[in-house]
Structure 1
Amino acid sequence: MVKWGSSAAALALMCVAVPLAAKDTPKGEAAAASPGLPPAMVALEKSLHPQSGDVRIPEAKAVLHLGDRYYFLPAAEAKRVLVEAWHNPPETGDGVLGLVLAKDTTIFDNVWGAVISYEDTGHVDDADARSQDYGTVLKGMQDGTEQQNADRKQAGYPAMHLVGWAQPPSYDGVNHSLIWARELAVEGDPANGLNYDVRLLGRTGVLSLNMLASMKDIGDVRSAAQSFGRSVSFEPGGGYSDFNASTDKAAEYGLAGLVAGGVAVGVAKKVGLLAIFLKFGKVILLGVAAFGAAAWGAVRKFFGRKDEETI
């Protein structure tokens, strides 16, 4: 039996996404028409209920305004895609609120997918947004990545290198959104990987949208990331400006901490996405949810998974 799909897992809290005034999105026929897909995967694709329009994320007290450019799969279906279609470990679904993809694409198309999660981190102070030293953050992340390569090679995985910023961190003080992207190189892979991160700051937590793709797709992914940074609104009482210092908790870190490791800085005290540890033959990503695109083959390469496993 051949296993196929992406390989990633992340630490996050369990929550559920529920559509608000959502409408059904027409589904393409790519899954049914794609040769080589197992019948179970075709059935999975047909069982999904993509939604567009406004989608409510109750645990985050937020609404995604997707319009008709993207579609949303709720938590239960997103977890099935991650585990059954993209062949992640079951724990990958922990903390996933939903999955967003571009319209007219399926879960098997070679495109990006944005995994949504939320962490009750406490209020992240953006007062020093202009003075953040992201160059130092990048150097620390690069050093941490290189330190893990010996373990990766010993376990039979190729070394991975953080090339640098594909987009330096930028903060939108109006929408309270922080966006950045990293370029990743895996030894033996001619195509570099692209990891885009979008963080929306709320009253006492951070809504996260993470995308993984190839550098060749940076234009499309950048456009989607910028759109996501402007398309989220928090409900009354849950917005950034609703923070009450006398009653609400504050985060243990600022914007640089989000970039260095996302919400995991206060949870796991690790570097984040790039703090990769090999345990029991699986690739475990410590940090906020940062899953692959529907391009399960590409994701497998980006994370250094052995091409095929046969049982």
Structure 2
Amino acid sequence: MNILEVQNVVKRYANHTALDDVSLEVPKGSIFGLLGPNGAGKTSLIRIINQITAPDEGRILLDGELLRQKHIEDIGYLPEERGLYKKMKVGEQLLYLAQLKGMTKAEATEKLKVWFIKFDIKDWWYKNVEDLSKGMQQKTQFIATIVHEPKLIILDEPFSGFDPINANLLKDEILELKKKGSTIIFSTHRMESVEELCDNIALINKSKVVLRGEKKEVKNRFKDNSYTVDYIGDFQSNSNDFQIIETKNLEDGLKRSHIRLSPEYSVNNLISNLISQVELKAFSENIPSFNEIFINVVGGEANEIL
């Protein structure tokens, strides 16, 4: 079942079309990667989901209902440009923001205590936001985003400005939120985070969705039936069923070849051919990274490959 359905959404600003017939589905309980270069339309879509702006055409369903004002309490949003009130004390501000999302003061206080202990920031409660470092402010805003336990959490570049230790802390919390049933839309340029966290992705380029699907299935679409082989000896291509694209000499007599198979030629046949000629040391399929897929799709003329 889907927590969010975006159906044929169009958004125009003056002479610019920010979103052009955009449709996507976010499965409930998943981490969904919303990808794309700057200016592609990601932020416009996020603003519509948060009801900051409205679509010119199309509609959005949240948990099967047409998106409307009451759903604000069901969504937590961490924007890329953080927006805390600098002069307010951390605890006071988080209580205020939690109550805007429908929590009582007592309920918010109890939930915030849990997060302050979890993040080891108990002494921040009475500090002014302006006295915190950028990373500390981001931790504070992350708590504000999720303290009311929303159905849908939207994180826009959540790791920006974090050191590796705190980035890992945040990753663990995102995975824990998913485990507890939250759905997370994760907007980022960091493809390594997509590899690590996301279950499904949608790639927006030039206002259109140009690629979408389950992470493993998308990767399979971009495989080229090639393999990397490490071996000792001399390997000659004696078949039209595969092609040695490149061979490199490594240390201690080890060689590495990049081999592409024809569609009809099996991996077992290639391995049999290899071991009849060389001492085989390693064999692996070449699976494209999301960084490679992103460049492949966005780098050229991004044809629709849905």
**TM-score (norm. length: structure 2):** 0.25
Query: RCO higher in 1 or 2 (8 Å CA, sep ≥ 6)?
Result: 1
Give the structure-1-normalised TM-score. Answer: 0.24
